[in-house]
Amino acid sequence: MQLLEYQAKKLLKRAGAPVPVGRVIGIHESPGKVTFPIVVKSQVPVGGRGKLGGIKIAKNNQQLRQAIADVNRATIKGYLPSCLLLEQAVDIRRELYLSLQVNRDDRQVEWIASENGGVEVESHSESVCVISCKDVSAHEKLAKALSVPTKMLSPLLAQLEHCFYDNDLLLLEINPLVLTNGTTLVCADAKVIADDNSRFRHADFDWPNVEQIKPLGGTIGVIANGAGMAMSTMDAIYASGAKPANFLDIGGGTGEDVFVKNLRFINGLSGVTCVIVNIFAGITHCDDIARGIIAAKQQIPNLVPLFIRLEGTNRDEASELLLDAGVSLEPSLASCVIKARKVAK
Ligand code: GDP
Ligand code: MN
């Protein structure tokens, strides 16, 4: 699972690696007293924010207010920020690329480094250098590849290795690793993919809680149980000429809270006009989903219309609960799609 930048930087800080001074604020929270210049960074689980308006630098309070408003509004690959990271801007002399990752084919962990870090790193493949962590002269080779003195780089490499192994990471990517005017190195951005199988060993992690939702940019939201069910729901939406707003397999045994949390997230995706709930309950109980739907109607402001198909365990109880709450069920997925299509237009 990919962590948000601020969560990744917490791990870096814990390992002693240099990160900019920063603080997380909610999207509606006031920034309070800050030191300028400051960078406002959208916290979304995808990269490329710089190019898409998710990173803004402010030099005074007026610019800061504007930057926060702009970053809050910017949709990054289908995501709106769940919170913002405010960081004291670093002075950039050079932007480098450095990452550690598991190479499954070669059964080893390796470093990848490039002198040309920053937003355009993909276009500099010729300068990318891959070095096995087992290589006894890895530190010297990396220093050479990045054109920085080994003495300056080596402590950081040790900190990154600690961060990587102590937290069971699959990827730790620093892009850019910034060489500042003061000739020190700072991890200005961090992308971390943690191993889901090691979750039990890191109960203290801030695990993101809506990781299974994949935004797709369309207008009809989808909540289904089972990946096959989610995919066939998406197929039916595509076949009708519309586009799904997301992929979500909400899983078996879904209770009221999980349902509400996921629906809240989908309702907040930009462009969503309605949501199809397609549940064929086995382990899941339809009455739990029904309670989730009723709770969502009370708790989620500006909730879009829901078109609901429920079958399986406790379907009749669910149907009664929903009838009492004035919510009707659709007889089939096809009728959900027809109604959703009308709203989406
Ligand atoms: P990404 O686009 O999602 O990878 O976000 P980054 O955090 O990597 O920021 C993108 C770009 O914004 C960086 O490559 C920098 O050029 C610029 N940037 C980010 N933080 C700072 C900063 O503190 N100071 C300055 N001057 N530029 C920054
Ligand atoms: Mn970056």
The predicted-structure confidence for 273-288, as pLDDT tens digits, reads as follows 999 999 998 888 999 9
- Residues 92-135 pLDDT 10s: 999 999 999 999 999 999 999 999 998 777 788 888 999 999 99
CA distance 86 to 55: 10
For the whole model, what pTM was predicted? 0.74
Ligand 2 ion: residues within 5 Å (CB): 175, 189
Model pLDDT, residue 122: 73
Contact 255, 314 (CB under 8 A): no
CA distance 250 to 264: 13
Residue nearest to atom 10 of ligand 1 (CA): 50
Ligand 1 neighbours, Cβ below 6 Å, are 39, 41, 47-50, 55, 89-90, 92, 95, 118-119, 175-176, 188-189
Q: What is the mean pLDDT of residues 1-10?
A: 92
Q: Identify which of 99, 125, 121, 124 has the alpha carbon closest to the alpha carbon of residue 112.
A: 99
pLDDT for 296 beyond 60: yes
User: What is the whole-number distance in angstroms between the Cα of residue 141 and the centre of ligand 1?
Assistant: 26
| Rg of the chain taking only CA atoms, in angstroms | 23
Ligand 1 atom closest to the CA of 89, numbered from 1 = 23
- Residues 131-185 pLDDT 10s: 999 999 999 999 999 999 999 999 999 999 999 999 999 999 999 999 998 789 9
CA distance 7 to 43: 10
What is the number of the ligand closest to the CA of 52?
A: 1
Q: Which residues are catalytic?
A: 97, 173
- Residues 14-57 pLDDT 10s: 999 999 999 999 988 999 999 999 999 999 988 999 999 999 99
Contact 274, 336 (CB under 8 A): no
